[in-house]
Amino acid sequence: MIERLAIIGVGLIGGSLARALRSAGAVGEVIGCGRSLPNLERAVALGVIDHYNQDPAAVVADADLVFVAVPLGAMRGIFASIQGHLRPHAVITDGGSVKGSVVADARAAFGRIPPRLVPGHPIAGTERSGVDASFPELYRNRRVILTPLPETDPEAVQRVDWMWRTCGAQVNRMSVAHHDEVLAATSHLPHMLAFGLVDALARMDETDEIFRYAAGGFRDFTRIASSSPVMWRDICIANREALSAMLGRFSVELTDLAESIRRADAEQLLDIFERAKAARDRYVDGTKQTPAPVTAKGDLTGESETP
Phi-psi region of 162 (alpha: psi -120 to 50; beta: other; left: phi over 0): alpha
User: Could you tell me the sign of the dihedral formed by the alpha carbons of 83, 86, 176, 250, in that order?
Assistant: negative
3-state secondary structure of 2: strand
Quote the least distance from Cβ 10 to ligand NAP, whole Å.
5
Binding mask 106-145 for ligand NAP (x = CB under 6 A): ---------------xx--x---xx---------------
Contact letters (x/-) for ligand NAP, 242-281, by CB under 6 A? Answer: ----------------------------------------
Closest residue by Cα to residue 15 from 37, 43, 50, 34: 43
Residue 35 interacting with ligand NAP (CB under 6 A): yes
Q: Which of 251, 269, 272 is nearest to 260 (CA)?
A: 269
Please identify which residue in 105, 161, 181, 305 interacts with ligand NAP, judged by CB under 6 A: 305
The verdict on 71 binding ligand NAP (CB under 6 A) reads: yes
Rounded to an integer, what distance in angstroms lies between the CA atom of residue 173 and that of residue 163?
14
d(C-alpha 5, C-alpha 20), whole Å: 12
Cβ of residue 254: shortest distance to ligand NAP, in angstroms?
Answer: 25
User: Given candidates 228, 236, 246, 300, which one binds ligand NAP under the rule CB under 6 A?
Assistant: 228
Map the footprint of ligand NAP across residues 139-178, applying CB under 6 A.
none
Residue number, 66 or 78, with CB nearest to ligand NAP: 78
Residue 105 CB neighbours (<10 A)? 23
What's the rounded Cα separation, in Å, for the pair 79 and 109?
A: 6
120 phi, psi to nearest 5 deg: -145, 165
User: In this chain, which of 3, 36, 41, 280 binds ligand NAP, going by CB under 6 A?
Assistant: 36
Nearer to ligand NAP, 50 or 265 (CB): 50
Contact footprint for ligand NAP (CB under 6 A) = 8-14, 33-36, 39, 69-72, 74, 77-78, 95-97, 121-122, 125, 129-130, 228, 231, 235, 305-306
